[in-house]
């Protein structure tokens, strides 16, 4: 890529996102109901299992599945930045209703503005776009596997959140769900 390494730019982008996320997490509404946290433990164990596989079979998982080069890295960086931008936009739109896990907040609101007009889970959309960009620029099999695992974890988490939203907003959420796709506008 040149004097600035792809890895450093990607780490910088994800660091900016992480710092923003942590800074905004202190001003959320009080939680009145939290879904079971077993899913987080299972996701963590699955991630650790993948890490172990990657370390045990590095030559297999570090196989390049996409042609690497400066153009691919620039595209990966742009896609990652766009995805993180979507996630931050969605987080700002969600405001104090946000939480790291599936919860119901005090005076919980059903947000249908900003990116929530387009998809029901725009934070996940943004994170998946960012993850795709990160993987695209590196082009390794391990990145493809991690992206697929992240998609699976976020899809399962979205289903848990949907059940909470249906319970909290029994009239409004089914209508919102009917007209707004989960992750990709007009598609999925």
Residue 188 in any domain: the answer is no
Half-sphere exposure of 132 (CA within 13 A, CB side): 12
Integer Cα distance of 43 and 103 in angstroms: 18
Residue 132: which residues within 8 A CB-CB, separation 6 or more?
79, 83, 147
The tally of domains found in the chain comes to 1
Residue 132 domain-assigned (yes or no): yes
Does any domain span residue 80? yes
Q: 2 pLDDT band (50/70/90 cuts)? A: low
CATH of the domain at 142: 1.20.120.1630
Q: Which residues form the domain of 83?
A: 6-179
* Residue-wise DSSP of 157-172: HHHHHHHHHHHH-TTH
In a domain, 48, yes or no: yes
Please report whether residue 163 resides in a domain: yes
> What is the C-alpha to C-alpha distance for residues 27 and 23, in angstroms, rounded to an integer?
8
pLDDT for 134 equals 93
Instruction: Please give the share of the chain, as a percent, with pLDDT higher than 90.
Output: 64
185 occurs within a structural domain: no
In this prediction, residue 1 carries a pLDDT of: 52
**Across the chain, how many H-helices and E-strands are there?**
7, 2
pLDDT tens-digit map of 12-62: 999 999 999 999 888 889 989 888 878 778 888 888 889 999 999 989 988
Say if 184 falls within a structural domain. no
> Which tens digits make up the pLDDT trace of 58-78?
899 888 887 778 889 999 999
Mean residue pLDDT across the chain: 91
Task: Indicate the pLDDT class of residue 133, thresholds 50, 70 and 90.
Answer: very high
DSSP characters over 50-80: HHHHHHHSHHHHT-B-S--SHHHHHHHHHHH
pTM for the structure as a whole:
0.89
Query: What pLDDT shows up at residue 3?
Result: 54
The 3-state DSSP class for residue 103 equals strand
In a domain, 187, yes or no: no
């Amino acid at each position: 890529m040149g004097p600035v390494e792809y890895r450093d730019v990607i780490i910088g982008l994800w660091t900016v996102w992480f710092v923003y996320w942590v800074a905004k997490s202190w001003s959320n509404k009080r939680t009145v109901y939290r879904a079971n946290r077993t899913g987080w433990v299972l996701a963590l164990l699955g991630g650790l299992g993948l890490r172990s596989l990657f370390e045990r079979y590095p030559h297999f998982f570090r196989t390049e599945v996409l042609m690497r080069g400066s153009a691919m890295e620039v595209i990966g960086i742009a896609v990652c930045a766009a995805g993180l931008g979507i996630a931050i936009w969605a987080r700002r739109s969600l405001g104090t209703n946000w939480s790291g896990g599936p919860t119901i907040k005090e005076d919980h609101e059903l947000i249908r503005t900003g990116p929530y007009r387009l998809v029901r889970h725009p934070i996940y959309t943004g994170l998946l776009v960012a993850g795709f960009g990160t993987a695209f620029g590196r082009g390794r099999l391990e990145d493809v596997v991690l992206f697929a695992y992240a998609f699976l974890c976020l899809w399962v988490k979205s289903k848990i959140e949907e059940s909470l939203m249906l319970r909290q907003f029994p009239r409004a959420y089914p209508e919102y769900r009917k007209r707004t796709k989960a992750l990709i506008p007009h598609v999925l």
